[in-house]
Amino acid sequence: MSIPFIDAIRGYLQGDGAVILPEMELTLFGLAVLLIGYPLDESVENNWFWKLLFKNFYAKAALAGTLFSGFTLWKLRGAVAASARGYLPGFHESVVVDSFFPFFATLFLAATALVILLSVKYLDIEEEQEGEYYALLLFACVGMMFMASGVDLIVMFLGLETMALSFYVLTGFLRREKRSNEASLKYVLLGAFSSGILAYGFSLIYGLSGTTNIRNISAVFNPRIGLARAIELSRQSGVMGSQMRQVLSAEYPAALHLEPSLLHQMPVLAAAAFVLIAVGLFFKVAAVPFHQWAPDVYEGAPTPVTTYVSVASKTASFALLLRLFLTVFAASQETWVYLIAGVAVASLTWGNLAALTQTNVKRLLAYSSIAHVGYILLGLVAWNETAFTGIAFYLLAYVFMTAGAFAVIIVLRQKGLIGEELEDLNGLYQRSPASALLLLIFMLSLAGIPPTAGFMGKYFIFLSLIETKHPVLAVFAVLYIVPALYYYFRIVVHAWLKAPGEAPRPVMSSAQAVALGVAVFVSLAAGLYPEPFTRLAHYAFGP
């Protein structure tokens, strides 16, 4: 028996729908969390089954969504491997599932799951336990996944905005808290500003190439720039010019009579498009000098959201950036490499030096994350296989070690104690040895001391810089580990070596324990036995 409606859905799910199935599932779970209310009376409290099901129902549903989506993603990965072309296109090649997508999508889902686990107790303390929060987390994740799978400028932009809008709301989720509101407003205004810049860049590319699909853009774009340069050369005197004139008159005679000023504008406009897009994305990843929202937003947002912004939003923006740079702007890498190098060095310098004097842990980690962006951007400067593996590995390590560091701060948040200042960490070792040990491991990893994940990430970046003959940048990058260690160890000093004050013992919920366990496992495993992780990172940029 065939029901046309069901058949249509089944057909859809085997065709285009298969490509966006993980996102669809997440959306459905998000909608479910939004729409389903649940009974909260004594019968729930007293019956173990109802309690298991309904206590923190929203969080459990959202977590189930990420697990479900992750499972689908796993199966999708198998389908990618089995496919003839090595990737699965959908919706007229505007969404693509290749090896790049599962890697980043897994990171986003993992980050989302960690944040959900970390949020439950935090929201209880803040008395803001709402379904919308978890729905927004899932929607943000959907947006990020489209940022990684989209190969069409419009899909990418939509993905980015879905993510960003969710974040704007999440940042201001503590309605009664002034800091949270202020951060949210700042984030919205600046985010809109940067999105405008990004959209302008997109529109320029569209204007120059006549298509929004990035595969087509790179097919059209780079030859056109090449042609423009050829025509420009042919107008010059000398041997080179005359040779170029002969080539052009043989192959493309019309070119010799084109309006010169238009031709001249082509590469310059492409350059402008590049800069606009880069600036829009630099804002999202918080690279200097587009980073200033980061410390304020990190400090003001509820700490789980800070974690999410710092970890997932940055990774997703890097995914988008890599997708664009590796296709549309790949051919012109040698022209923009200095620009990226400049931004990278600025981020390293500013991030590391500004972090030295911070007294708020969240702000300190904000600046340190700016420094991490500098390292990742150096991978783009190196631009070889090691560098791409390194970027992927670095992002992987970054997700777990940063989430872990913030998780410890979240554990410190107790009733009547904010726990975000360095002073609040005093004597953490005496109050909770396990959290202090975890904090130490995350700090070592963030600083890049072996054998931790953070070291391996840096290892690949440094190696790629040496391979591509950038010794000065390499020395520069490597020496910044020293101040970085200093400020990370300021946190350690407060947690381990200062006497505890009046602060109470932090109590870790089981959800927090699971999140910390996962984060510390990856941070250590990827350092002690990096082999599977390096393979994974290598896989992200093509089998």
Partner 1 sequence: MLASISIAGLGIWLAIQFYRTKRFAPELVARKWPKAYGLLFHKYYVDEIYDATVVNRVKDLGSVLGTFDANVIDGLGVDGTGWLARFGSTLSMWWDKWVIDGLLNFGAKMTQLFSFPVRMLQTGMFSSYAMLILVGLVILLAYYGHHMQVLLRGVR
Partner 2 sequence: MEFFAHHILTVVLFTPLAGALLLLFIPREMETAHRIAGNVFGVLGFLVSLPLIRWFNLNWGGFAFEESAEWIPSIGAKYHLGIDGISLLLVLLTTLLGMIAILSSWSAIHQRTKEYYILLLLLQTGMIGVFVSLDFFLFYVFWEVMLVPMYFLIGVWGSDRRLYAAIKFFLYTLAGSVVMLLAILALYFYAPVPAGHTRTFDVPTLLAAAQHFSDPLKVWLFWGFFFAFAIKVPMFPFHTWLPDAHTEAPTAGSVILAGVLLKMGTYGFIRFSLPLLPTDAAMRARIIHIVVILSIIGIVYGALVCLMQKDMKRLIAYSSVSHLGFCTLGIFALTPNGLAGSVLQQVNHGISTGALFLIVGVLYERRHTRMISDFGGLATPMPNFAAIYLIISLSSLGMPLLNGFIGEFTILQGAFQVSKAWAAWGTLGVVLGAAYLLWLYQRVMFGPVTHAINEKLPDLNLREYATLVPLVILAFWIGIYPKPFFAYLDKPVQKIVEQVNPRFYEAEHAKLPPAELHAAMPRTK
Which residue in 310, 49, 354, 59 sits closest to 171, CA to CA? 310
Pick from 354, 378, 519, 540 the residue near partner 1 by CB under 8 A.
354
Residue 476 is a binding residue for partner 1 (CB under 8 A): no
Tokens of 38: 């649940």
Give the nearer residue to partner 2 in terms of CB position, either 71 or 521. 521
Stretch that binds partner 1, among 27-35, 82-90, 235-243, 438-446 (CB under 8 A): 235-243
Element (H, E) at 357: none
By the 8 A CB rule, do 56 and 40 touch? no
Pick from 89, 427, 450, 500 the residue near partner 2 by CB under 8 A.
450
Residue 272 is a binding residue for partner 1 (CB under 8 A): yes
In sequence order, the 6+-apart residues with CB closer than 8 A to the CB of 69 are: 22, 23, 25, 26, 29, 109
Residue 132 is a binding residue for partner 2 (CB under 8 A): no
Minimum CB–partner distance for residue 489 and partner 2 (Å): 6
Give the C-alpha separation, 229 to 266, whole Å.
9
Residue 489 is a binding residue for partner 1 (CB under 8 A): no
186 binds, among partner 2, partner 1, none (CB under 5 to 8 A by kind): partner 1
Residue 93 is a binding residue for partner 2 (CB under 8 A): no
Pick from 34, 125, 185, 422 the residue near partner 1 by CB under 8 A.
185
Minimum CB–partner distance for residue 382 and partner 2 (Å): 12
Which residue in 195, 186, 207 sits closest to 143, CA to CA? 195
Pick from 104, 283, 329, 375 the residue near partner 1 by CB under 8 A.
283
Phi, psi of 213 (to 5 degrees): -80, 125
In sequence order, the 6+-apart residues with CB closer than 8 A to the CB of 31 are: 135
Give the nearer residue to partner 2 in terms of CB position, either 120 or 444. 444
By the 8 A CB rule, do 155 and 214 touch? no
Tokens of 8: 């249509």
Sequence-ordered alpha helix ranges (H) in 84-130: 100-126
Stretch that binds partner 1, among 251-259, 350-358, 518-526, 529-537 (CB under 8 A): 350-358
Question: How far from 236 is each of 227, 243, 246, 359, 366, CA to CA, in Å?
Answer: 15, 10, 13, 60, 51
Give the C-alpha separation, 240 to 258, whole Å.
19
Pick from 93, 177, 182, 467 the residue near partner 2 by CB under 8 A.
467
Give the nearer residue to partner 2 in terms of CB position, either 164 or 440. 440
Residue 427 is a binding residue for partner 2 (CB under 8 A): no
Q: At what angle do helices 100-126 and 314-327 cross, to 10 degrees?
A: 160
Residue 489 is a binding residue for partner 2 (CB under 8 A): yes
Minimum CB–partner distance for residue 466 and partner 2 (Å): 5
Task: Compose the 510-539 pattern: x for residues touching partner 2 by CB under 8 A, - for all others.
Answer: -------------------xxx--xx--x-
Which residue in 355, 507, 486, 358 sits closest to 423, CA to CA? 358
What DSSP string describes 404-431? HHHHHHHHH-BTTB---BGGGGTTHHHH
Q: What CA dihedral angle connects 213, 219, 221 and 227, to 10 degrees? A: -160
Minimum CB–partner distance for residue 478 and partner 2 (Å): 4
Q: At what angle do helices 333-355 and 361-382 cross, to 10 degrees?
A: 160
Minimum CB–partner distance for residue 359 and partner 2 (Å): 17
Pick from 342, 471, 501, 543 the residue near partner 2 by CB under 8 A.
471
Largest CA distance in the chain: 91
Minimum CB–partner distance for residue 356 and partner 2 (Å): 12
Minimum CB–partner distance for residue 340 and partner 2 (Å): 21
Tokens of 151: 């190969």
Positions touching partner 1 (CB under 8 A) are: 185-186, 189-190, 193-194, 197, 229, 232-233, 236, 238, 240, 264, 267-268, 270-272, 274-276, 278-279, 283, 289-290, 292-293, 295-296, 335-336, 338-339, 342-343, 350, 353-354, 356-357, 483
Positions touching partner 2 (CB under 8 A) are: 444, 449-451, 455, 459, 462-463, 466-467, 471, 474-475, 478-479, 481-482, 485-486, 489, 493, 496-497, 529-531, 534-535, 538
